[in-house]
Amino acid sequence: MKNIVILISGRGSNMEALIAARDAGQLPVNIAAVISNRPQAQGLETAARAGIPTQYIDHKSFAGREEFDAALADCIDTFAPDLVVLAGFMRILTDAFVNHYAGRLMNIHPSLLPSFPGLHTHQRALEEGVRIHGCTVHFVTPTLDHGPVIIQAAVPVLDGDDESSLAARILRQEHQIYPQAVRWFAEGRLQLVDGRVRLAAELSDGAALVSPQLA
Ligand code: GRF
């Protein structure tokens, strides 16, 4: 079974969705640890209640980004993860960190990338007047909120929406697509071809079959 480490900074509702999927038998992974850069992150308590080892590494105790990322990677690697899952981890990561986890670092972003990278995505979507908004799970590359898209979910932007109603509609989708993306990874079905993600077919017994165009 694949080992995953989840990184959070706050509430941790996406982390909770992953734990719930695992508990429901829909996500065949071992959640080896949940690590936060904020000692007070609410999600750390949730993870501990679920019996998952937790750690925090306070980014404020480090001289710079490089030092923090190196300490974070050291901590992560003690759990020997197959996959590192960024779930509301609100730090810009150094190239060295991202390259160390190339192909095994996933993020969820609350927009339909490549639209609206960065912060305040829902407010910006409302200001632009877009009619469709959503969320994206992607493999992480050194460019912020960029990388091969694994799965996206779209929702309508309704008349009368404000930032919080739109955020809530999208968060419900985030909680569906993140467990789905991690499940595909755990099943060995995510293939990177020419910088894009291809989903390998699934045999009826659950084993993965690499699709012909990937052979
Ligand atoms: C989510 O909207 C996620 O897409 C973004 O940060 C938020 C984290 O929420 N990266 P939570 O901590 O998972 O509840």
pLDDT tens profile 50-100: 999 999 999 999 999 999 999 999 999 999 999 999 999 999 999 999 999
Is 143 part of a structural domain of the chain? no
As for ligand 1, residues whose beta carbon falls within 6 Å of it are 8, 10-14, 87-88, 108-110, 135, 171, 174
The HSE-up count of residue 184 (CA atoms within 13 Å, CB side) is 22
- Could you list the residue range(s) of the whole structural domain that residue 20 is in? 1-101
Note whether 213 and 121 are same-domain residues: yes
Which pLDDT does position 202 carry in this prediction? 74
Q: Are 157 and 109 in contact (CB under 8 A)?
A: no
Q: Are residues 8 and 82 in the same domain?
A: yes
- Asked if 96 and 163 sit in the same domain, the reply is no
Whether residue 122 lies in the annotated active site: no
Cα of 87 vs centre of ligand 1, distance in Å, is 6
Residue of 59, 109, 133, 175 with catalytic role: 109
pLDDT of residue 208: 54
Residue that has been written with the tokens 């429901």 in this structure? 24
Q: Are 124 and 82 found together in one domain?
A: no
> How many other β-carbons are positioned within 10 Å of the β-carbon of residue 150?
22
pLDDT tens-digit readout, 133-162? 999 999 999 999 999 999 999 999 999 999
Shortest-distance Cα residue to atom 5 of ligand 1: 88
- 108, 110, 116, 119: CA torsion to nearest 10: -90
Does residue 215 share a domain with residue 115? yes
| CATH number, domain with residue 59 | 3.40.50.170
